[in-house]
Amino acid sequence: MTTELFQKPDEKFYTDAANYWSEIPATVDGMLGGFGFISQTDIKDSKLLLKQLFNCKNPPGRDHALDCGAGIGRISKFLLTDVFDKVDLVEQNPTFLEQAKRYMGAKLSRIGDFYTEGLQRFRPESKKYDVVWIQWVVGHLTDNDLIDFLVSCQDGLKPNGVIVVKENITSTDEVEMDRQDSSVTRPMRLLRQIFDKANLECYRQAKQRNFPKGLYSVYMFVLKPKKVNDVVEESTNESEIPPAEENGNKEGHDQNEETR
Ligand SMILES: C[S@@+](CC[C@H](N)C(=O)[O-])C[C@H]1O[C@@H](n2cnc3c(N)ncnc32)[C@H](O)[C@@H]1O
């Protein structure tokens, strides 16, 4: 008799993922499934997104960010510590967080707390963060756990704070299951429904550019708590978001293409 029989389906989904990641090297290549070479391209568009966000009306502060499913801290090192005074990391794999302490080098002084916890259990401290960055990890949460986590992240936000989700999206309208790493890739429609159920408004949506062909499309979503009596804010209009060219970004056109 296997232990599987004693586990609820959700628990197995999480333990299978934890087992998968426990075999993966604590390197950038490991974090990106052998595609370590896309890291710079990824960071470049994320930087542009943050730059545009800080140019908007009522931008978030630059005090404290949270890197969720942080792995060895690739995003904290190359993106978040350049922008925020302090960055906390939450990650389920303790080996990755130990490696993050070495990998961060001089940037370690900008790191605040390390939380070794699955996002299905982790709950951020109230009103602590200007930006909660959640990249390439939401596929490891069930729909309900993702909704609960996103709801809890709103409580973790300071005034004007935002949640950024950067994630693979299926080209079909179907959820695609990866049994090897125990994750799902969701279609855009489902992810937007989940944001809505979590009471989040998608303030901005941008597509990652210049990734190799054959990979999933990757989108960045800037999410804000819906307001009470919400008249959905017309905040994605182009006047608030400078065109990419003004930011010295002439390579592609996708990043500014998407608005609500
Ligand atoms: C594809 S890697 C991405 C790492 C990092 N976000 C990056 O982009 O470099 C996925 C990460 O999510 C972590 N992870 C998987 N399931 C998780 C969970 N339930 N809660 C928190 N982290 C999880 C893995 O251990 C791994 O570090």
Tell me which DSSP letter residue 6 carries: G
Token pair for 56:
């908007």
Q: Is-above-0.75 flag for pTM?
A: yes
Instruction: Among 137, 146, 178, 208, name the best residue to mutate to test ligand 1's pocket (greatest count of ligand atoms within 8 A of Cβ).
Output: 137
Instruction: Among 78, 92, 123, name the best residue to mutate to test ligand 1's pocket (greatest count of ligand atoms within 8 A of Cβ).
Output: 92
Which ligand 1 atom sits nearest the alpha carbon of residue 14?
19
Confidence (pLDDT) at 227: 85
Count other Cβ atoms within 10 Å, centred on residue 116: 15
Which ligand 1 atom sits nearest the alpha carbon of residue 93?
25
- The answer to whether 62 and 84 are in contact (CB under 8 A) is yes
- At 78-116, the pLDDT tens digits run 999 999 999 999 999 999 999 999 999 999 999 999 999
The residue ranges of the chain whose pLDDT is under 70 are 1-7, 229-260
**Is 17's C-beta closer than 6 angstroms to any atom of ligand 1?**
yes
**Is 136's C-beta closer than 6 angstroms to any atom of ligand 1?**
yes
Q: How far is the CA of 57 from the centre of ligand 1 (A)?
A: 32
Q: Rg for the chain (alpha carbons), in Å?
A: 18
Token pair for 200:
């989040």
Place of tokens 């090192």: 77
Decide: helix, strand or coil at residue 117: coil
Confidence (pLDDT) at 5: 52
Confidence (pLDDT) at 6: 63
Confidence (pLDDT) at 228: 72
Confidence (pLDDT) at 229: 57
Token pair for 119:
């996002």
**Is 137's C-beta closer than 6 angstroms to any atom of ligand 1?**
yes
- The answer to whether 208 and 135 are in contact (CB under 8 A) is no
- For residue 119, say whether it is annotated as part of any ligand binding site: yes
Confidence (pLDDT) at 226: 97
Confidence (pLDDT) at 232: 40
Dmax over CA atoms of the chain, in Å, equals 63
Residue 64's nearest CA partner among 40, 27, 42, 89 is 89
Confidence (pLDDT) at 67: 99
Going by CA atoms, what residue is nearest to atom 22 of ligand 1?
A: 69
Q: How far is the CA of 94 from the centre of ligand 1 (A)?
A: 11
Q: How far is the CA of 87 from the centre of ligand 1 (A)?
A: 16
**Is 255's C-beta closer than 6 angstroms to any atom of ligand 1?**
no
Instruction: Among 11, 28, 43, 91, name the best residue to mutate to test ligand 1's pocket (greatest count of ligand atoms within 8 A of Cβ).
Output: 91
d(C-alpha 185, C-alpha 8), whole Å = 21
Q: How far is the CA of 198 from the centre of ligand 1 (A)?
A: 21
User: CA of 111: how far to CAs of 90, 108, 173, in Å?
Assistant: 11, 5, 39
